[in-house]
């Protein structure tokens, strides 16, 4: 980890992100680039919309034009200075800790500006708050956060609360995909540097398989003359699904552990195979153990071209009780177990 990109807007979550960036940079010897986009044109447009509300003496076109020019200069200069003032205090904090820090501030539509800067800078991980100054109700992700994550296939730390990196508890979501193994490798790095507890979790949803089969049985199998009404047959089918998926989960965890840890698995606190709705079980388990971080791959075993982020990952980001590390997409190679 040599370069960290910090998306900063002076909100509580970005302030928490700056503390995490400082900790990571000091631990890994990385440079931090603080970035911010400000949208002066949006404010200029808002001023135009409000012009009819000005007193009558300002409604002459020559007066309005003069006000527009003054307002435009004020907004452009003022917002740039405000943006720089957001990042100025961070420079001192990083300098005191002997961490390289520089800023990039640019005018334009927020998410587009941030996308452009990230493309130019690269970086090993992008830190961004899950929301800015808007609602923080359960399931809410800010629009800039959503767009940045969807548009950039990179490693992310999405900050949902202050990040505890002192002996943290970490949950790693595994499904046998390359991206989830990437997440486990990142978790190992964190575990080694921060003496963390590491919980490896696989979740399967047997109810989905049973419901699909039930609909298939009613709509196709019985109508086609194949009799599948035996309660004994249904029981055997359900047990096969339950036990089979649970066994697959155990095998995936075992293989992931051997692939990433070899014989040095001292950081692994627990290995869990859970049943239920996948994103919800992951979030519930993280809440149960009071986790500090969830690690997940950007995409899973069912990745298809055109998908920019997996549905489980997106919902974990929305409903996680803690901050989330998302490992970048890797070429899909679902394991043969």
pLDDT digits (tens, 9 = 90+) for 52-63: 766 776 677 776
Share of the chain above pLDDT 90, in %: 57
**Domains contained in the chain, number:** 2
Give the residue from 324, 210, 202 showing the smallest Cα distance to 273.
202
Band the pLDDT of 326: cuts 50, 70, 90: very high
The answer on 203 and 141 residing in a single domain is no
The answer on 149 and 203 residing in a single domain is no
The answer on 137 and 126 residing in a single domain is yes
- Please tell me the predicted confidence (pLDDT) of residue 219: 58
The answer on 113 and 249 residing in a single domain is no
Query: Which residues lie across from 125 on neighbouring strands?
Result: 4
Instruction: Provide the residue range defining the domain that includes 27.
Output: 1-163
Domain of residue 281, CATH code? 3.40.50.620
Render pLDDT for 177-220 as a digit per residue (tens, 0 to 9): 999 999 999 999 999 999 999 999 999 987 666 666 666 656 55
Alpha-helix runs per DSSP H in the chain? 12-28, 40-50, 61-96, 110-121, 143-151, 178-194, 206-216, 231-261, 278-288, 311-319
The answer on 105 and 218 residing in a single domain is no
pTM of the prediction?
0.84
Is the model more confident about 235 or about 24? 24
Q: Span 153-157, mean pLDDT?
A: 96
Q: How many angstroms separate the CA atoms of 249 and 51, rounded?
A: 62
Is the model more confident about 94 or about 41? 94
pLDDT surpasses 90 at 99: yes
The answer on 261 and 157 residing in a single domain is no
- Please tell me the predicted confidence (pLDDT) of residue 307: 73
- Please tell me the predicted confidence (pLDDT) of residue 58: 65
- Please tell me the predicted confidence (pLDDT) of residue 188: 95
């Amino acid at each position: 980890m040599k370069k960290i990109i910090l998306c900063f807007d002076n909100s509580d979550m970005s302030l928490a992100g700056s503390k995490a960036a400082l900790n990571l940079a000091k631990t890994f010897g990385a440079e931090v680039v603080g970035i911010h986009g400000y949208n002066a044109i949006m404010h200029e447009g808002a001023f135009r919309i409000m012009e009819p509300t000005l007193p009558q003496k300002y409604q002459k076109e020559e007066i309005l034009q003069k006000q527009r020019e003054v307002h435009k200069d004020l907004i452009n200069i003022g917002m740039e200075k405000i943006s720089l003032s957001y990042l100025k205090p961070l420079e001192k904090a990083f300098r005191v800790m002997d961490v390289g820090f520089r800023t990039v501030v640019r005018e334009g539509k927020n998410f587009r500006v941030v996308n452009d800067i990230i493309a130019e800078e690269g970086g090993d991980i992008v830190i961004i708050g899950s929301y800015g100054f808007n609602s923080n109700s359960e399931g809410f992700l800010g629009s800039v956060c959503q767009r940045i994550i969807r548009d950039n296939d990179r490693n992310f730390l999405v900050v949902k609360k202050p990040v505890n990196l002192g002996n943290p508890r970490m949950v790693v979501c595994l499904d046998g995909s390359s991206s989830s193994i990437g997440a486990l490798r990142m978790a190992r790095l964190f575990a080694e540097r921060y003496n963390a507890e590491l919980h490896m979790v696989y979740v399967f949803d047997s109810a989905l398989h049973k419901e699909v089969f039930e609909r298939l049985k009613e709509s196709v199998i019985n109508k086609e003359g194949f009799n599948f009404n035996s309660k004994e047959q249904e029981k055997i089918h359900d047990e096969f699904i339950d036990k089979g998926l649970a066994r697959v989960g155990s095998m995936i965890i075992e293989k992931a552990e051997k692939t990433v840890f070899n014989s040095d698995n001292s950081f692994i606190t627990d290995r869990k195979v859970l049943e239920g709705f996948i994103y919800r079980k992951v979030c519930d388990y993280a809440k149960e153990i009071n986790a500090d971080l969830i690690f997940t791959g950007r995409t899973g075993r069912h990745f298809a071209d055109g998908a920019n982020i997996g549905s489980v990952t997106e919902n974990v980001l929305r409903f996680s009780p803690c901050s989330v590390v998302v490992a970048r997409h890797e070429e899909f190679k679902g394991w043969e177990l």
